[in-house]
Structure 1
């Protein structure tokens, strides 16, 4: 069974995970919290849904 021989696929699997682990956090964190809203100037608007049977 060639699936049990780790030489052909283990290096590709390991390098792809190393690349994913090293580049993914920087790409994700660059899109996180670009502009924080100022809570004093932000108005909260509640749009309540009214059900006809209540």
Structure 2
């Protein structure tokens, strides 16, 4: 499911969600340069993905 999530996320403009190369998984690094709106967009995408694929 990780590969499908990353692929779909990138198709929707979300980059850099792939986890560390040695441990895998997913990660979202949210720093000060990320707006609240962008965090909400990611959360909405994650909920959409879960609904479609969960």
Q: TM-score of the superposition, structure 1-length normalised?
A: 0.33
Give the number of the structure whose residues are more often strand, by fraction: 2
Comparing both chains, which one has the higher relative contact order based on Cα–Cα distances under 8 Å and sequence gaps of 6 or more? 2
**Structure ID, larger Rg:** 1
